[in-house]
């Protein structure tokens, strides 16, 4: 090993010393910055990932909609099925209804799903907590968990559904009774808003409630594993022809603004937390500068022994690099450790502060999500090591400028 690397290692980890205090403290500063970056970007990534997953799980990867209704959905589905990359399609209709159970009203979004094809596109059965999707028929309904709780409904409860069609009929002095439906299932997606304001019925019942006839509001499309949603959506639009008013949009396209905000938030957090590493780097620089002053005569000795100024500089730069490397490795370990224990920590914290409900209500998730992205982690590693190495540059420059004669004379 060249002398300057050897000496850098020895100055950080002196022989015969069990606990290199200066080195550990310097590394700890970097490690804390790296840990915070790993935790923050992973949690932000987790929020983003869960939201993306939820969008795909509830809407499919590509969605087709017309300006009004899609009348001949069968023909449309056949046409779309032939587009490369399309695996399955399912029609849907949606709207808002008033729902009442034991005089407790609610105004949920109602989704009409085609029982024959919905599970090929949307993994609804994965989210059914009580009951079964196969029990759903034209006289029954599946409620979201928090909605069921708020109106006191359970499996077997009867709920009354008032659709906007009732109001239309009332204008013509017609009396239309609300539909009475039996609760056959309760689902929970894990998103506060969806879990408190969505109900599922069969597509036929929804068409009946809204007077749609055989028309639907749209078609959800599942695409092949690894296929690009934007490309498949483009291919579907081309297959529709220029005259068609039906338009396919990928989930990315449909939620472009939202995804942009998510990415922006994540980038801002990364940018702000990078300052912690910069502050740690300043403390590393300060420690190394003190080291240069303390070791002035040793630096002079190295020059007298024949050491070149650039090698003296490399010795201090390498110390900055090693502190960065050690701090980064420690920070990664601490960060992933904190992520592994995050839900236990949050549970204890919310129990102590009595804020479990608040967390779920404001952050939409019952658990703190985490989704570390390889690119983010690599960026953190590179930033941390580069910044720490740069912190060694000024001390290295000072050390390299020392003239051996003057350094040896210094008191």
Partner 1 sequence: MSNTPIISARGLTKSFLSGDRRIEVLRGVDLEVAAGESVSIRGESGSGKSTLLNLLSGLDAPDTGTLAWAGAPVEADRRAAFLGIVFQSFYLIPEIDALANVLMASRIIQVPGAAERARAKELIARVGLQERATHLPAQLSGGERQRVAVARALMNSPKLILADEPTGNLDEHTGDAVIDLLLGLCRETGTALVLVTHNAAHAAKCARGLRLRDGRFV
Binding residues vs partner 1 (CB under 8 A): 1-3, 6-7, 10-11, 14-16, 297-298, 300-308, 404-405, 408
Query: For partner 1, which is the closer residue by CB, 304 or 340?
Result: 304
Query: For partner 1, which is the closer residue by CB, 7 or 73?
Result: 7
- Secondary structure class of 93 (helix, strand, coil): strand
Query: For partner 1, which is the closer residue by CB, 158 or 308?
Result: 308
For 264, the token pair is: 């922006």
Q: DSSP class of residue 365?
A: B
Provide, rounded to whole angstroms, the least separation between the CB of residue 16 and partner 1. Answer: 5
Query: For partner 1, which is the closer residue by CB, 5 or 394?
Result: 5
Q: Name beta bridge partners: 34.
A: none
For 41, the token pair is: 């970007």
Query: For partner 1, which is the closer residue by CB, 122 or 312?
Result: 312
CB 255 within 8 A of CB 242: no
Q: DSSP class of residue 306?
A: T
CB 307 within 8 A of CB 3: yes
Provide, rounded to whole angstroms, the least separation between the CB of residue 253 and partner 1. Answer: 59
Provide, rounded to whole angstroms, the least separation between the CB of residue 301 and partner 1. Answer: 4
Provide, rounded to whole angstroms, the least separation between the CB of residue 282 and partner 1. Answer: 24
Query: For partner 1, which is the closer residue by CB, 208 or 298?
Result: 298
Provide, rounded to whole angstroms, the least separation between the CB of residue 394 and partner 1. Answer: 22
Provide, rounded to whole angstroms, the least separation between the CB of residue 307 and partner 1. Answer: 5
Pairing of strands 109-113, 198-202: parallel
For 48, the token pair is: 């983003």
* Burial track 36-70 (b if 16+ CB lie within 10 A, e otherwise): bbbbbbbbbbbbbbbbbebbbbbbbbbbbbbeebb
User: How many whole angstroms separate alpha carbon 163 and alpha carbon 67?
Assistant: 21
User: How many whole angstroms separate alpha carbon 40 and alpha carbon 384?
Assistant: 15
């Amino acid at each position: 090993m060249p002398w300057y690397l050897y000496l850098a290692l020895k100055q950080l980890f002196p022989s015969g010393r069990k606990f290199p205090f200066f080195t550990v403290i310097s590394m700890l500063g970097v490690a804390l910055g790296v840990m915070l970056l790993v935790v923050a970007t992973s949690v932000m990534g987790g929020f983003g990932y869960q939201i993306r997953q939820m969008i795909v799980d509830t809407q499919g990867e590509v969605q087709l909609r017309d300006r009004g209704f899609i009348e001949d959905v069968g023909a449309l589905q056949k046409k779309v099925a032939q587009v490369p990359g399309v695996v399955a399609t399912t029609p849907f209709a949606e709207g808002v209804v008033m729902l009442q159970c034991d005089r407790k009203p609610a105004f949920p979004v109602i989704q009409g799903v085609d029982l024959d094809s919905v599970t090929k596109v949307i993994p609804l059965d994965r989210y059914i907590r009580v009951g079964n999707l196969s029990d759903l028929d034209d006289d029954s309904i599946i409620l979201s968990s928090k909605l069921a709780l708020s109106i006191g409904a359970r499996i077997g409860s009867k709920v009354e559904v008032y659709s906007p069609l009732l109001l239309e009929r009332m204008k013509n002095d017609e009396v239309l009774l609300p539909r009475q439906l039996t609760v056959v299932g309760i689902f929970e997606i894990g998103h506060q808003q969806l879990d408190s304001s969505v109900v599922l019925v069969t597509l036929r019942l929804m068409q009946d409630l809204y007077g749609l006839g055989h028309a639907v509001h749209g078609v959800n499309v599942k695409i092949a594993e690894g296929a690009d949603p934007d490309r498949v959506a483009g291919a579907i639009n081309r297959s529709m022809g220029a005259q068609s008013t039906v338009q396919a949009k990928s989930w990315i396209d449909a939620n472009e603004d939202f995804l942009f905000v998510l990415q922006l938030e994540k980038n801002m957090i990364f940018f702000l937390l990078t300052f912690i590493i910069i502050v740690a780097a300043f403390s590393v620089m300060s420690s190394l500068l003190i080291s240069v002053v303390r070791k002035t005569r040793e630096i002079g000795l190295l020059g007298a022994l024949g050491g070149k100024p650039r090698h003296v500089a490399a010795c201090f730069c390498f110390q900055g690099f090693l502190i960065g490397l050690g701090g980064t490795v420690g920070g990664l370990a601490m960060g992933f450790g904190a992520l592994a224990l995050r839900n236990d920590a949050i549970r204890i914290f919310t129990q102590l502060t009595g804020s479990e409900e608040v967390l779920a209500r404001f952050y939409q998730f019952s658990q703190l999500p985490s989704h570390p992205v390889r690119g983010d982690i690599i960026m953190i590693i590179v930033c941390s090591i580069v910044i720490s190495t740069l912190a060694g540059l000024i001390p290295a420059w000072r050390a390299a400028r020392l003239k051996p004669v003057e350094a040896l004379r210094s008191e």
